[in-house]
Structure 1
């Protein structure tokens, strides 16, 4: 268990924590377009394509169009558009145990996500908007984790001082950036560990 002080707000990542993506989604789209395994991810998440999308320079639609344009060089225009469309259709799956945990923390919960302009519609489709007191979408605020500015902005939205925030993320670099600002940073691995940390925090608050 991670030792921690009491906290006044929880700042939580989305993908890899609350939302899970079935790897078959991407594999099936690649297979349908005759692409090699990993080809879609290599293009979609290349920094030169994804960074403009998660910092608001481009919309989600523009990002996906740019992906299709690049893939078209490999599999042709029609196949590339079909691959991107198939991959884009799902919204992922909610990790129900994490949703239950976040719903019972008793302090403001703020989602902090490196995401495109599609984030809000995804959250609505997943039915998790009510879990959050605020949503900090990197593409709306113009900066992405691990930039310190997004953490400060999220703490302000939570109405909490930096050193009274618990930050949860599955990416170690993002957690380290939060700790550097004085937050309690938790590298998410599984729901059980998260529950332990939050339970410890509530006990510290009560004490």
Structure 2
């Protein structure tokens, strides 16, 4: 019997599709790939998620690398503008509330930098959760098994009583390997509700 439902944040609770954002912004496949590798796909981005560098340090290094690659202007624009893509998914927030009202514990487990965690907290995205673990707090990113264990330990949870939801398949597979039930989030909230029902997690 599942008692706890665990949600990723980016791509699940809020919109986060950096490649689609870059397509709309740059309209050049070559430049989109280059800018992605210098920003969202960079080592600096992973370090930001893990709380190992500050936003100032991360941006400075990304801009230095962009200058060397001849696309400082494009990367600067992305770094100045990208947070607007983090639109809260209100139907997901409502789903979390309904699950909680039906007696389930609800948590988040996310790769997320400190400043973005603070931003989404201020916007009320996390208000319905009973708690959670952010990568920036424990200095470990998914799909490292240690971040899942950190959540289990923090709230005295059992993996086989938890359902984990993430848009990234590798993260879902890592959770499954530890004994969680795993669901990869697709576009539709209705599809997610049906997937939860297959785990006997119902909202009736």
What range is the shorter-chain TM-score in? 0.7 to 0.9
- Give the Cα–Cα distance (whole angstroms) in 1 for the partners of residues 73 and 39 of structure 2: 17
Separation of aligned partners in 2, 1:68 and 1:182: 41
SS of residue matched to 2:58: helix
Aligned pair partner of 1:45 in 40, 63, 72 = 40
Q: 1:15 aligns with which of 10, 24, 27?
A: 10
Structure 1 segments unaligned to the other structure (5+ residues): 1-5
Secondary structure of 1:112 counterpart: strand
Question: Are the aligned partners of 1:55 and 1:140 in contact in 2 as well (CA < 8 Å)?
Answer: yes
Question: How many angstroms does 1:91 deviate by?
Answer: 5.5
Give 1:100's match in structure 2, choosing from 94, 108, 120. Answer: 94
Once the 2 structures are TM-superposed, how far is the Cα of residue 92 of structure 1 from its aligned partner? 1.1
Q: How far apart are 1:47 and its partner, in Å?
A: 4.4
Q: Residues 144 and 97 from structure 1, CA distance in 2 versus in 1: closer, same or farther, beyond 3 angstroms?
A: same
Q: Verify the 8 A CA contact 1:44 1:50 in the aligned structure 2.
A: yes
- Aligned mate of 1:71, from 57, 66, 74: 66
- How far 1:168 moved relative to its partner? 0.6
Offset at 1:62?
1.9
Structure 2 gap ranges (5+): none
Instruction: Kindly indicate whether the alpha-carbon contact (under 8 Å) linking 2:35 and 2:74 is maintained by their aligned counterparts in 1.
Output: no
1:105-138 Cα deviation digits (max 9, x unpaired): 1322111111112232221343212121113111
Pairing of 1:134-173 with structure 2 (within 5 A): 134-173=131-170
Name the SS for the 1:45 alignment partner. Answer: coil
Moved over 6 A (4+): none
TM-score scaled to structure 2, two decimals? Answer: 0.81
Return the alpha-carbon distance in structure 2 between the equivalents of residues 143 and 79 of structure 1.
Answer: 29
Give the TM-score normalised by the residue count of structure 1. Answer: 0.80
